[in-house]
Structure 1
Amino acid sequence: MENKDLIQKSIDTVRVLSADAVQKANSGHPGTPMALAPLGHVLWADTMHYNPKNPDWPNRDRFVLSCGHACMLQYSFLYLTGYGISLDDIKNFRQLHSITAGHPEYGLTPGIEVTTGPLGQGFANGVGMAIAQQYMAARYNKPDFNLFDYKIYAICSDGDIMEGVTAEAASLAGHLGLGNMIYFYDSNSITIEGDTDLAFDEDVSKRFEAYGWHVQNLPDINDLDALSEAIKNAQNETDRPSLIKVRSIIGYGSPNKHNSADAHGSPLGKDEVRLVKENFGFDRDKDFDVPAEVLGYYHTVAEKSAKNESDWNELYKKYKERHPDLAKEYETITSGKLPEGWEEKLPVFEAGEELATRKASGKTLNAIAEFLPQLIGGSADLAPSTDTNLEAYKSFSPKNREGRNFHFGIREHAMGAVLNGMVLSNYLIPYGATFLIFSDYMRPPLRLAAIMKVRTIMVFTHDSIGLGEDGTTHQPVEQLIGLRAVPNLTVIRPADANETAQAWRVAIKHTDGPVVIALTRQGIPIIDQKKYSGAQNLEKGAYILSDSEGEPQIILIATGSEVHLILEAQEELKKSNIQARVVSMPSWNLFDKQDDTYKEEVFPKNIRKRLAVEAGSPVGWMKYTTDDGDVIGINRFGESAPGEEVMKEFGFTVENVVKRAKALLSLKV
């Protein structure tokens, strides 16, 4: 078989394999993998540097399938090139406990760089990956040692291009001049409802040119030479991200369903799959037919690509000899370890003054940044308000790739997705900041970070009605409970400056999912560490901050700015001979992970009278207050007024806490 014929047979194998897998699952998206098989071939056979035997090789090129519904394209090439995916895994596409899920999942399938599916997320994740490469190259690359020069290749669809997060991320990438991004826009003009002109007819190429991208247009995805030339042009364009618009025919090879919405999100049907096989010269009655020469061909190209890692390893050995300190730092960080002694740099705040926890967070960040070079981040145009600027460092920009302060612009959605891409470098600990109310703009990337269990850190300030005059539009009410409901997401709302410092300690050491730190705008008292239990107990999620002198009659529970209220209420109740225990509960998520012995120690089953106080929705608190308890919370939107007045209006006062506690105890108020 001539090489040209073998290449065509290889491409058609991917098409048939995709159609078979979707048909067997009776679910999925066959049309796009069939259309994109030529592009997949050029990427895996001729373009990308990768090693199937070591999917985590640090300088591998990253591939992102933003249109995750087309995952049979990716699964097919991962299988054919020798990653840890078998033909049986392909046959079990979309089945229970299979590693070939309905959309690509990071950590589940070897070779998958990021979990995609919600359209536009992968597009923005790739921007974060590109930023990570640029930062690492600026820090570690030296003359004659180009350690990190990998590129980010991504495929996005019409649907990706329509999503708002794509616009945000594309604008940011163009501004930053991320020339290590090469994206392919699959313009097949088909969505689930029909032709894209139902709702979409813009000139995407001109739009991306306006963003500052290098744009090329290819009329036929089946022209392999044109694809290869376009990729080389993009690789040579190092000052701008590249978009290669390719025209494809969805369901290519299907006689009756090509170029139609029928090929998008449903199996082709058994009879149509047989016709597809006939069309490509395969046995119509043989399912999952992978010719031996095709499998051998892709294994050979993968082995050639793997040589890039061997060359890199030799380069790194010499690098270690020439730059031992940088090599040691890099190896420490990538091993998952943290530099020794960094926790000793966490500030300790003295009682006697009031300090907003957002300001305490800023002081903490600046105290530890020097010792954690992998800690970088910024805000969605709110650094002065969220106190997240690293004062000793410059900004990441087209002229300074070593900058550690990021300016995401007013692009909260993209910020979250870009942070996810940054953390997937397995090197960086990135953080992003905005107001808690705007976490609503970030739910998709927060949820995906939780699914992937990656360590992104979100700093959400202005965390309650206590922010004051900005009023209902900016005062969060339902956000905390909404975030707490996300599996694998750890939410921490510290009570004062010292708990805030400890929240950062926990967040940086946490490796099992994203962390949210919710902080106040208003100043709140710093709790006396000598008089009350230490803030280091924050890591347990809830702890006895101040116990009663005798057996507690009631347990007062609070988070954040309301903790000082229950401390004062404890003193007032003591005057009425009421014994109250005060529990600071900065994180439900962390507390729920403690053993039953500790939980019983904090919340004894025999103490049923419990009062929770939080300036947010009361939903969920009954889990900890029990049926005999009560919650002082908020069931409606706030008001525009000075923060102290708003807090008083909603009952967040010492007097009301005492009143509600006595009512629980059925005592005369």
Structure 2
Amino acid sequence: MNINQKAVDALRILSADQIQKANSGHPGLPLGAAPAAYELWANHMNHNPQNPNWSNRDRFILSAGHGSALLYSLLHMFGYEGLTIDELKNFRQLDHLTPGHPEYGHTVGVEATTGPLGAGVSTAVGMAIAESHLAAKFNRDGYPVVDHYTFAMTGDGCLMEGISYEALSLAGTLKLGKLIVLYDSNDITIEGNTETAFKEDVAKRFEAFGFQVQIVEDGNDLKAIGEAIDAAKADLERPSIIICRTQIGYGCPAKVGKASAHGEPLGEENILELRKFLGWESNEAFEVPEEIYSHYDSIAKENAIQEDKWNSMFEKYCTEYPELKEQWDIYHSDIDVENIINSEEYWKHESKAMATRAVSGDLINKLKEIYPNMIGGSADLAPSNKSEMKNEGFFSPENRLGRNIHFGVREMAMTAITNGIYLHGGLKPFCATFFVFSDFMKPMIRLAALMGLPVAYVLTHDSIGVGEDGPTHEPVEQLAMLRSIPNVNVFRPADYTETAVAWASAMGSKSTPTAIVLTRQNLPQIEGSSKDAFKGAYVISEASNKDSIDLILLASGSEVELAVNAKAVLEGEGKSVRVVSVPCMDIFDKQSKEYKEEVLPSNVRARLAVEAGGTMPWFKYVGIDGDVVGMTSFGASAPASVLFKHFGFTTENVVERAKKLMF
């Protein structure tokens, strides 16, 4: 048996051993896809285990994340930091580097958190967009400083999920020639043969997308796999898919080709049979001959040389193009958000009423001058979202320098792609759509929160103010949904200043995504609105007697104006009323106890919250003695002014509900 075959089988054995010891996991993919993974990592992919963050490395995404044992085996064999044999022995155990699905930021060498099928390959599209854009920006003749590929390994499940087709359709349209998908096609899912639910001709579908399509009939044929990868890399006009025909559970006579190989340990006896079938020398779990380790080590050292060559080229590039080196450093470092906070120009605005979506559009066009690496777009709604960066062009096969992206009507894929752009490094991405469509985005926003990606999501048309479009387009429960996701800052600003705070917070964030929720309708600039919004909630209109407050009104977004108007009426009747604007609950909840007590003194139990959304999030502030004017039903189709009145968002109703709390 030659050393390459032994190296492949080491991946199979280690993967099976991990899963068996944990008594949990998915051995089917690692056994079948090990040859493709090995051939790619050993002979076609630039990566340096000694510097996993080398900027010009090829990216690899295991989109079929349930096959994580294969990725951990690769990382271990190539010598990535921390991936010791003991970590493999603690697969799927608490506080170890080998969780059930790969987690970005947790395990060195994992480029993206994958789990929901289709998410990984969609994220890879974003990485390919980033590579293409940065190459156009920085490369010069003889200096390909940005020149790498994005590889994604998928399975049948990934390609059944709609998100993958959304994203890969866009990849074909954009001619992302450095995106290469390896498809582990084994015709098996948990319920059995894929013919029960998945009979389409995948090759023809990808041809229709504009992909180069190759089929490797024998997924164990390293030579054929290698030739296919070379052909894919050579075609820079089309993204590529390599369909590898494999057998799930290959090498395990009792499991091969069966659904039971997918998601359950093989069993001790079957692992012995696997070892026998593969001709493995030892029956001892996790034991790999030294010659195989040496083989992987030699490959890793060759890869380190590739980085050394790049470093030498980059050093000369920096000397010859000092202005580009300066830009490179800006793109690859954080701009101090204090520069924005202290910028008079950033905060400057007219006193006229404006929809916060229009305010956001104004701010985006200010920020693009501060952040030259800002890039983003909308799901076919840029004119409505006000999300276009003026005079920056649109990213396309003809214009890789375009900073705006036409995502098309693909909200979920758009979000994953935006995550991928950030993960690549060097760019500050955002994306935009109507707030009601955050339902489509939510799974990918959740992954961004898990990964700690400071991506901005612009969500306009934020309430029943959408009006005539009716309840299908009027977000009611979405605020509660987004606020329930850990590590997401959800801003619903009331005016220009608060929207500017939301954007500054998003751009300055280090590890938290930000959702900026904006109105369709015009809102006034509110007296008392201030940078205190950075604290998440603050007193926007103080009570006439702050030492004896009768009522606290809390609100966000368009309802802050309503709360201020209701306060005027109540104070005219002799009551002392404080108005608290709450643009971001997530940030306010992290403030000190002293500050929260200062804003919401515990001795004032008469509290009324007002928001044109679901009432659930507000009860932690108003308590059992308080009340919420909110939405407890879906909306309706009518002009916005009619709907706000119909659902009780009027000064009169707020005053009436407030009086019930005080008497």
TM-score, scaled to structure 1: 0.97
Q: CA deviation at 1:284?
A: 5.9
How do 1:462-541 and structure 2 match up within 5 A?
462-528=461-527, 532=528, 534-541=529-536
SS in structure 1 opposite 2:279?
coil
Q: Of residues 539, 552, 559 in structure 2, which corresponds to 1:544?
A: 539
1:160-201 deviation line (CA, Å, top 9, x unaligned): 111100110111000000001111111100000000001111
How do 1:105-144 and structure 2 match up within 5 A?
105-144=103-142
Q: Match of 1:350?
A: 350
Conserved in 2, the CA contact under 8 Å of 1:181 and 1:242? Answer: yes
What stretches of structure 1 of length at least 5 have no aligned partner?
Answer: none
How do 1:529-608 and structure 2 match up within 5 A?
532=528, 534-550=529-545, 551-608=548-605
SS in structure 2 opposite 1:620?
helix
SS in structure 2 opposite 1:27?
coil
How do 1:222-621 and structure 2 match up within 5 A?
222-283=220-281, 285-338=283-336, 341-343=339-341, 344=343, 345-351=345-351, 353-528=352-527, 532=528, 534-550=529-545, 551-621=548-618
Conserved in 1, the CA contact under 8 Å of 2:550 and 2:604? Answer: yes
Rounded to whole Å, the distance in 2 between the matches of 1:462 and 1:213 is: 36
1:142-171 deviation line (CA, Å, top 9, x unaligned): 122110011001110011111100110111
Q: CA deviation at 1:338?
A: 4.2
SS in structure 2 opposite 1:615?
strand
1:8-27 deviation line (CA, Å, top 9, x unaligned): 11111111111111011000
Code of the residue aligned with 2:423 in structure 1: it is: L
Conserved in 1, the CA contact under 8 Å of 2:337 and 2:504? Answer: no
SS in structure 2 opposite 1:73?
helix
Rounded to whole Å, the distance in 1 between the matches of 2:534 and 2:321 is: 37
Rounded to whole Å, the distance in 1 between the matches of 2:441 and 2:334 is: 27
SS in structure 2 opposite 1:560?
coil
Q: Of residues 150, 153, 162 in structure 2, which corresponds to 1:152?
A: 150
Code of the residue aligned with 2:230 in structure 1: it is: K
What stretches of structure 2 of length at least 5 have no aligned partner?
Answer: none
Code of the residue aligned with 1:539 in structure 2: it is: F
Is 1:188 paired with 2:183? no
Is 1:220 paired with 2:218? yes
Conserved in 2, the CA contact under 8 Å of 1:251 and 1:257? Answer: yes
Rounded to whole Å, the distance in 2 between the matches of 1:329 and 1:593 is: 35
Code of the residue aligned with 1:654 in structure 2: it is: T
SS in structure 1 opposite 2:253?
coil
Rounded to whole Å, the distance in 1 between the matches of 2:424 and 2:231 is: 26
1:272-294 deviation line (CA, Å, top 9, x unaligned): 01111122223564111111111
Q: CA deviation at 1:547?
A: 0.6
1:356-414 deviation line (CA, Å, top 9, x unaligned): 00000001111221221111101000001000011121000010000011100001111
1:546-589 deviation line (CA, Å, top 9, x unaligned): 11121211110000000001111111111111000010000000
Q: Match of 1:79?
A: 76
Rounded to whole Å, the distance in 1 between the matches of 2:34 and 2:410 is: 34
Conserved in 1, the CA contact under 8 Å of 2:544 and 2:571? Answer: no
1:449-505 deviation line (CA, Å, top 9, x unaligned): 010010111100000001111111000000000000000111000011221122111
Q: Of residues 639, 642, 647 in structure 1, which corresponds to 2:644?
A: 647
Is 1:25 paired with 2:25? no
Q: Of residues 630, 634, 654 in structure 2, which corresponds to 1:657?
A: 654
Rounded to whole Å, the distance in 2 between the matches of 1:333 and 1:608 is: 49
SS in structure 1 opposite 2:473?
coil
Q: CA deviation at 1:620?
A: 2.0
1:83-118 deviation line (CA, Å, top 9, x unaligned): 020000000000111110000000010000000011
Q: CA deviation at 1:233?
A: 0.6
Q: CA deviation at 1:339?
A: 8.2
1:10-57 deviation line (CA, Å, top 9, x unaligned): 111111111111011000001110111111111111011111111111
Rounded to whole Å, the distance in 2 between the matches of 1:127 and 1:89 is: 30
Q: Match of 2:623?
A: 626
Conserved in 1, the CA contact under 8 Å of 2:340 and 2:504? Answer: no
SS in structure 2 opposite 1:473?
helix
Rounded to whole Å, the distance in 2 between the matches of 1:545 and 1:53 is: 53
Q: Match of 2:52?
A: 55
Q: CA deviation at 1:329?
A: 2.4
State percent identity of aligned pairs. Answer: 49
Rounded to whole Å, the distance in 2 between the matches of 1:290 and 1:284 is: 8
How do 1:33-52 and structure 2 match up within 5 A?
33-52=30-49
SS in structure 2 opposite 1:468?
helix
SS in structure 2 opposite 1:616?
strand
Code of the residue aligned with 2:369 in structure 1: it is: E
Code of the residue aligned with 1:460 in structure 2: it is: L
Conserved in 2, the CA contact under 8 Å of 1:15 and 1:34? Answer: yes
Q: CA deviation at 1:442?
A: 1.1
Q: CA deviation at 1:342?
A: 4.5
Q: CA deviation at 1:6?
A: 1.3
Code of the residue aligned with 1:319 in structure 2: it is: Y
Rounded to whole Å, the distance in 2 between the matches of 1:497 and 1:601 is: 25
SS in structure 2 opposite 1:621?
helix
Rounded to whole Å, the distance in 1 between the matches of 2:60 and 2:423 is: 12
> Aligned residue pairs: how many?
658
Rounded to whole Å, the distance in 1 between the matches of 2:557 and 2:349 is: 16
Q: CA deviation at 1:348?
A: 2.4
Rounded to whole Å, the distance in 2 between the matches of 1:398 and 1:335 is: 27
Code of the residue aligned with 2:182 in structure 1: it is: F
- What's the RMSD between the two structures over aligned residues? 1.2
